[in-house]
Amino acid sequence: MRPDEVANAALVAWGGSEEQSRLIKYRENVVFEVRLRDGTRAALRLHRPGYQTRGAIEAELIWMRGLADAGQEVPVPVPTNTGALTATAGDRIVSVVTWVGGLPIGSAEQPLGGDAAAQETLMERLGGLIGRLHGATDALGLPATTERPRWDAEGYLGERPLWGRFWENPSFSTDERALIGRARERAREDIGRLVRSGSDFGLIHADCLRENVLDDGRSLKLIDFDDSGWGFRSYDLATAIFQSLEESALTQIVRGLLRGHGEVRPGSDAGQHLPLFVMLRTFASAGWITARSSADDPSQRLYAERAVRMATHYLAGSTPWDRTLD
């Protein structure tokens, strides 16, 4: 069956729909815009087979519902007619969440809009949003046994990282692969120190990219919690600036993000470890593209170059945003 046929068949569990579903994303999950019979506008997700267990998907949905109950503007799970959080269609687990209005603040393919001052203000708002997400999550007190992926030393750097064996990216030269290996070993040591020091850790979104941040003209909202899991809060800040590493206003972007997050969570150390976690995001992305593109795809080199650049900075104790952040 085609994905749209699977989606329409799956909708029966939610009472069906009198309107045709509309494909809006075909990546890790296949996502459709749908209208339920009661008129509710929603997003139906066909989850990628084998990526998340049903328990992990339902844990994500329970967390989102708790965040919404706490006043956070996030997608809310829509139960099936029998009250279940998920259904099955073919080899796919299916979930439905409420539609969140607004437009993405940008995309990976285009420079961030606005001048440096506008970009700093936008990122300050995003830092505050991420900080409120972390605070609301902590207040929920979800058990540590909640089944979600773990963005920890093994999840980033182990033999089977969550997003793939980044050091096997085919576009790395021999010298670059050795550099990545040195950075990988030092990062393991640094993560160990963060664990021992009690660094800010808990459930994180783990993918605060521009496409996943919506602006409705009133507030910013996060969508797409599919990669969420247990991790260091620094990683959410890192994913928020990952797409801005080539921006001319990178210093202002980082300054705004850290200021916004710090105002909401003044006791968090998340902003202190940004170089490590930005590098880890470039590693994860280099692994992600390795498993999804041919060796001669130009994207392989783009992601590899980012990883090499951040590893070089990390090992040298510098950052691309080294100009004063005061």
Structure confidence by residue, pLDDT tens digits, 11-38:
999 998 878 889 998 888 999 999 998 8
Alpha carbon of 245 to those of 20, 121, 285: distances in Å?
A: 40, 17, 14
299-314 pLDDT per residue, tens:
899 999 999 999 999 9
Q: Which class is domain 103-316? A: alpha beta
Return residue ranges of the chain for CATH 3.30.200.20. Answer: 3-98
Q: Which class is domain 3-98? A: alpha beta
The Cα 133–Cα 24 span in angstroms is: 25
Return residue ranges of the chain for CATH 3.90.1200.10. Answer: 103-316
pTM over 0.75: yes
- State the burial class of residue 139 (Cβ atoms within 10 Å of its Cβ: 0-12, 13-18, 19+): exposed
**232 has pLDDT over 50:** yes
Contact predicate 206/235, CB 8 Å: yes
